[in-house]
Structure 1
Amino acid sequence: MDDAEALPDKTPRTARGRRTLRKLLDAAAVEFGEKGFHEASISSITRRAEVALGTFYTYFDSKDALFRALVGDMSEAVKVSARDALSDDMGALEIERAALAAFLSFAREHREIYRIIDEAEFVDPASYRDHYETIAARIAKRLKEGADAGELREGLGETEAWAMMGMNVFVGLRYAVWSDGDPDEIASRVNALIARGIAAEPD
């Protein structure tokens, strides 16, 4: 067993191995974010990670396998950033506001996520689809919980979840990747749109 002590499925079982895997994923995020999948190279990723080229194959069979793992890792990071911003005392609308603000902050710090997820549509369509389906499912679950609590209207489901996710994705592109909008201000404006819609208030 090498110093990473990887399991047969290449999942490290020691703290040292997990640190090395983390370094490879972080280096891959920068490499793929800057160069794109096709121009990125394993040797460049290992140099960025400051690990030996041979160490790469302790964790991954190929660049494609690393890319798939990175998409999954980024999806998990998005989930964690939203989860950590929420608390049990928040109402349904406040949960959506806080989750979006957390995503905007995450996207600002990790702008490469947009290029990597977009490339996944062509490099690994299954992980691309899974990324968005998983997020939409979480939003749909929150909408149902809000309706069950009497804070949101009944009948909200998958369609509304995908619409909200699409709005969040492009708001993030505009105000986290292309410019630095204030996450709380932007999230509050989007939240007001969710709460009141765009129709004029009746007289």
Structure 2
Amino acid sequence: MGNSPATVTKGETIACNDAKAPRTERGRRTLRKLLDAAAVEFGEKGFHEASVSSITRRAGVALGSFYTYFDSKDALFRALVADMSEKVRTSARSALHDGMDALEIERAALAAFLRFAAEHKEIYRIIDEAEFVDPASYRQHYETIAARITDRLAAGVAAGKFREGLGELEAWALMGMNVFVGLRYVVWGGAEKTPDEVAARVNRLLAEGVLKH
């Protein structure tokens, strides 16, 4: 089994912990097709109703070729969760640039996540299902995101922008807020708020809290 991401195109990677890492560009493209098709299939039908044959049809890949890359539907699902986690990371990172202060970084990272979720609403169903299909993947997904937020908070403290004492607990609280505003305003929709507007409101909450000054 491959344990490192497989490069597809410049700037794009596939998390392959549960995939047999392909050695050719054609193989990497095929793996990408399978993961993309799996995201749609699992997102529409859920893990138990989804089938390998349907995923390969969506991907335009021969059924037998599936096992060149994955040992089972479970392995594909785990790889997909890891792949989505990586996409969340890269979408946030792409929105950041030098010169942003700590609060700007949180706003931009959340806005980028909300835009990603708007284009990939299936991520919520797939990650939620992971709690029961593969609890280790579910936990790793959130622990990885929380660790990144913890690092950002620490950087903000070091820069003198955030108060002392922020750490893992605050990172999990911030992550929970981000996840649920995404659910409400992106997945469920109907609120007519753009990702930037939602991120700005959350950013104001971070900056000002809820107490009347």
Please indicate, yes or no, whether the TM-score normalized by the shorter chain is above 0.5.
yes
- Other-structure match for 1:16: 26
Matched, 1:47 2:57: yes
- Other-structure match for 1:164: 174
- Other-structure match for 1:119: 129
Correspondence list, 1:81-92, <5 A? 81-92=91-102
How many Å apart are 1:88 and its aligned residue?
1.4
Letter in 2 for 1:24: L
Correspondence list, 1:124-135, <5 A? 124-135=134-145
Q: What runs of 5+ residues in structure 2 fail to find an aligned partner?
A: 1-18
- Other-structure match for 1:177: 187
- Other-structure match for 2:108: 98
Matched, 1:66 2:76: yes
Deviation >6 Å, runs of 4+: none
Matched, 1:142 2:152: yes
TM score, norm. by length of structure 2: 0.90
User: 1:191 aligned to 163, 179, 203, which one?
Assistant: 203
How many Å apart are 1:13 and its aligned residue?
1.2
Letter in 1 for 2:200: S
Cα offsets for 1:3-48 (capped at 9, x unmatched): xxxxxx7100111000000000000000000000000000000000
Partner SS state of residue 175, structure 1: helix
Cα distance in 2, alignment partners of residues 189 and 10 from structure 1: 43
Partner SS state of residue 84, structure 2: helix
Partner SS state of residue 199, structure 1: coil
Percent of paired sites with the same residue: 78
TM score, norm. by length of structure 1: 0.94
- Other-structure match for 1:77: 87
Cα distance in 2, alignment partners of residues 113 and 155 from structure 1: 32
The aligned length equals 193
Q: What runs of 5+ residues in structure 1 fail to find an aligned partner?
A: 1-8
RMSD over equivalenced CA pairs, Å:
0.8
Letter in 2 for 1:101: A
User: 1:36 aligned to 35, 46, 51, which one?
Assistant: 46
Partner SS state of residue 151, structure 1: coil
Cα distance in 2, alignment partners of residues 15 and 178 from structure 1: 38
